């Protein structure tokens, strides 16, 4: 049968190595800056998005979440977990991947790692919020929780907020040593003064900005009201799940509280401790000039960050664009490419299935190239008649 050859769109796959290549080719600061710009642009298009709170599956040790969002053209979701005890068995607390798809057809355009990317996008989002909310002239930051996210937060605040000195504290001294070592060896942190502290209270004293990025599946009290000097901006990142908070409710009661997507933060943020009618402002409103940021130099502002799907949408569209420009990533044979899309049975038609099975049998050359199996079989060698 003579049918025109269909042009099949392909799914691009980006591994952690591909995202590392993007960062190393153009530099961490440019990556953070451009990702922050994408996040800001998308927050300014807030009303164009079909939004929902993420779907969380809770268990004894942690949570697994799905985070979908779409505009008229593009759909994305992130799969992410949060398991604070994971590091004891050599796994990250937070691991993630995500998908970008074409709304017009539903075709997945991108499958990407998002573990490293989550650290980048979270720091970029924190910087976007702090630029809108922190006191101009903030120079000292306390960084409580010195795990996987912490270097990214330190670099973003050094470069985009003008932070010159960071006071570090973690209950695990080895985590602070790791953060210190990583920053001291990084030319992007040259000129940034670092001081390891013996307690949260010591780290927070004299800080203009306080970033909390701890992981513990409990209602922890890392920061109490008396610890913060007037005018502090609190970038609260680690309280992001029901029953997992960092900030004493008295801090929220006396602060201006800003959130990503209110329905989600009411369930997951430090805000979960407050009455349902406790007033908050969504960050996009401040960025768009529809609401005020801090009301005075003395007000304590708090960004009650939980991580919202829009930030991952921005990160995924940014990675997709960058990878294509830099020629990174690999075609992922995720969706079968069919000459006749109404005939998916062709994949299991006995003659085809037998040959396909032989092609992938142990010892065949294809078994060393798992991603190549299906593409080779379907596109060239076994095109059904
Ligand atoms: N809001 C967001 O968008 C967002 C994004 C990513 C991660 N997170 C959250 O940020 C937190 C940190 O993530 P991570 O990947 O860096 O985890 P991690 O496990 O690598 O590091 C967390 C660190 O917090 C320390 N810690 C725990 N309790 C502490 C306490 N009471 N005082 C001081 N330090 C304490 C731990 O020792 C550890 O070093 C997690 O809770 C995670 O869920 C939020």
| Arithmetic mean of pLDDT, 318-342 | 96
Q: Residue 159 — very low, low, confident or very high, per pLDDT cuts 50/70/90?
A: very high
pLDDT at 254: 97
Give the CA distances from residue 342 to residues 3, 37, 267, 327, 336, in Å, rounded to whole numbers and listed in that order.
13, 42, 44, 33, 12
Torsion angles phi and psi, residue 251, rounded to 5: -65, -45
Reported as a pLDDT band with limits 50, 70 and 90, residue 373 is: very low
Nearest of 270, 268, 282 to residue 245 by alpha carbon? 270
Retrieve residue 331's tokens: 């075609």
Looking at ligand 1, which residue's alpha carbon is closest to its atom 38?
Answer: 147
Q: Rounded CA gap, 154 and 166, in Å?
A: 8
- DSSP, collapsed to helix, strand or coil, labels residue 121 as helix
- Average pLDDT value over all residues in the chain: 92
The 330-332 sheet, strands edge to edge = 55-58, 63-70, 74-82, 96-102, 108-113, 11-14, 330-332
Residue 208 clears pLDDT 70, i.e. is over it: yes
Residue ranges around ligand 1 (CB below 6 Å): 82, 84, 87, 93-94, 118, 122, 144-149, 169-172, 175, 213-216, 220, 222, 237-238, 240, 305-307
pLDDT at residue 9, as a whole number: 84
Q: Is residue 195's pLDDT more than 70? A: yes
Q: What is the pLDDT of residues 257-288, one digit of tens each?
A: 999 999 999 999 999 999 999 999 999 999 99
Plot region of 232 (φ>0 → left; ψ -120 to 50 → alpha; else → beta)? beta
What is the rounded average pLDDT of the residues 55-63?
96
Q: 380 C-alpha vs ligand 1 centroid, how far in Å? A: 48
Please write the tens of the pLDDT for every residue from 232-253: 999 999 999 999 999 999 999 9
Q: What is the pTM of this model?
A: 0.92
Q: For 31-46, write each residue's pLDDT tens digit.
A: 999 999 999 999 999 9
Q: Is 263 exposed, middle or buried (0-12, 13-18, 19+ CB in 10 A)?
A: exposed
Q: What percent of the chain has pLDDT over 90?
A: 88
Q: What is the pLDDT of residue 376?
A: 34
Degrees to nearest 5, angle at CA 187 with 184 and 190: 65
Kindly report the protein residue whose alpha carbon is nearest to atom 1 of ligand 1.
306
Residue 209 three-state SS: strand
| Candidates 42, 208, 240, 312; catalytic one | 240
Please give the distance, rounded to the nearest whole angstrom, from the Cα atom of residue 124 to the centre of ligand 1: 17
| Rounded Cα distance, 48 and 29, in Å | 29
Give the whole-angstrom CA distance, residue 225 versus residue 104: 50
Is the pLDDT confidence value at 5 over 60? no
**Is residue 50 flagged as an active site residue?**
no
In this prediction, residue 280 carries a pLDDT of 98
């Amino acid at each position: 049968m003579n049918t025109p050859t269909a042009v099949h769109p392909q799914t691009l796959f980006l591994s952690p190595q591909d995202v590392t290549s993007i960062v190393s080719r153009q530099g961490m600061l440019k990556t953070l800056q451009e990702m922050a710009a994408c996040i800001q642009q998308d927050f300014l298009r807030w009303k164009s998005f079909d939004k929902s709170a993420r779907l969380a599956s809770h268990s004894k040790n942690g949570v697994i979440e799905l985070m979908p969002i779409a505009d008229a053209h593009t759909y994305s979701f992130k799969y992410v977990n949060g398991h604070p005890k994971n590091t004891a068995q050599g796994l990250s607390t937070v691991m993630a991947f995500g998908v970008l798809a074409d709304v017009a057809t539903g075709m997945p355009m991108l499958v990407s790692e998002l573990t490293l990317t989550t650290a980048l996008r979270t720091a970029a989002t924190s910087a976007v919020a702090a630029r809108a909310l922190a006191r101009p002239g903030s120079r000292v930051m306390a960084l409580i929780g010195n795990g996987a996210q912490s270097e990214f937060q330190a670099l973003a605040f050094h470069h985009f907020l003008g932070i010159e000195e960071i006071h570090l504290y973690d209950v695990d001294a080895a985590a602070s040593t790791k953060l210190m070592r990583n920053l001291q060896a990084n030319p992007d942190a040259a000129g940034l003064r670092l001081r390891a502290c013996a307690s949260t209270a010591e780290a927070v004293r004299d800080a203009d900005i306080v970033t909390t990025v701890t992981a513990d599946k409990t209602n922890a009290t890392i920061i109490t009201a008396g610890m913060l000097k007037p005018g502090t901006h609190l970038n609260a990142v680690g309280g992001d799940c029901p029953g997992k908070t960092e900030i004493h409710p008295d801090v929220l009661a006396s602060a201006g509280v800003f959130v990503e997507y209110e329905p989600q933060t009411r369930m997951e943020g430090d805000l979960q401790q407050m009455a349902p009618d406790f007033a908050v402002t969504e960050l996009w409103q401040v960025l768009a000039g529809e609401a005020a940021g801090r009301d005075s130099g003395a007000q304590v502002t708090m960004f009650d960050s939980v991580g919202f799907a829009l930030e991952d949408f921005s990160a995924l569209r940014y990675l997709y664009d960058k990878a294509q420009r830099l020629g990174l990533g690999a075609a992922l044979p995720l969706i079968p490419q069919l000459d006749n899309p109404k005939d998916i049975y062709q994949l299991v038609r006995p003659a085809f299935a037998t040959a396909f099975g032989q092609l992938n049998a142990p010892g065949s050359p294809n078994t060393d190239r798992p991603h190549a199996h299906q593409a080779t079989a379907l596109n060239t060698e076994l095109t059904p008649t």
